[in-house]
Structure 1
Amino acid sequence: MISGAHVILYSQDAEADRAFIRDVLAFPGVDAGGGWLIFKLPPAEVAVHPTDGPPQHEFFLMCDDLDTQLGEFRAQGVEVTRPVSEQRWGKLTAIRLPSGAELPLYEPLHPIAHSL
């Protein structure tokens, strides 16, 4: 039986991004050995979208109130990398990880599955 999902983010500065996830996002975690941190994620859901191009995977964080969340991030010095855009399915933006990578985040306007 499937018991969970394991998401991997590849990073040019894994230690800094792990510290960001621990300290800024405040996700609890475990040390899998040698400082290799693995974090508990909030409830999750998966969607499968059609594509005409090569298959790819994306990772987004979801929030209930994007404007409030962005205010909290800005107060902590987190860079917001994209202006908030209104999509048919939600409000979308992204923040900068210490490694320079973007982490998309959105406030869904669609029914959510993660609490089923």
Structure 2
Amino acid sequence: MISGTHVVVYSENPEADRAFFRDVLELPNVDVGGGWLIFGLPPSEVAVHPAEKNDTHELFLMCDDIEAVVARLAEREIACEPVQDQGWGLLTYLTLPGGGRLGVYQPRHERPQNPQ
């Protein structure tokens, strides 16, 4: 059946954002040619939310300790918005070097098991 997911992040400065995922987030990666990096991600989950249009999708990174992540990013001069308690989790946003906005949150909701 499904063996994984592939997320696409569009960027006005892909080289800078690839370096961010590689050097700041330290995600494992492979170069599939010409500096085009594909990053490995930890286990993931998908949620379906109601919407008026079906043309928008979002990417959030998840963590176990949002304050530790924010502090670690601050050490690398990556600013995060103030952490917001959303009930379902603690959420912040950071701005990627290419200008995109990326959410990071510490979930409080139950997590599904990963398929084998």
Q: Name the TM-score, length of structure 1 as normaliser.
A: 0.93
User: CA separation of 1:69/1:114 partners in 2, compared to 1, >3 Å: closer, same or farther?
Assistant: farther
Structure 2: distance between partners of 1:21 and 1:92: 19
Correspondences of 1:1-12 after superposition (within 5 Å): 1-12=1-12
Q: Unaligned regions of 5+ residues in structure 2, if any?
A: none
Correspondences of 1:1-116 after superposition (within 5 Å): 1-51=1-51, 53-55=52-54, 56-80=56-80, 82-113=81-112, 115=114
Q: Unaligned regions of 5+ residues in structure 1, if any?
A: none
Q: RMSD between aligned alpha carbons?
A: 1.2
Percent identical pairs in the alignment equals 52
Q: Which amino acid aligns with 2:93?
A: A
Segments of 4+ moved more than 6 angstroms: none
| Structure 2 counterpart SS, 1:12 | coil
Q: Which amino acid aligns with 2:109?
A: H
Q: Displacement, 1:115?
A: 4.5
Q: Which amino acid aligns with 1:87?
A: Q
State the aligned residue count. Answer: 114
Structure 2: distance between partners of 1:113 and 1:102: 26
Q: Displacement, 1:86?
A: 0.6
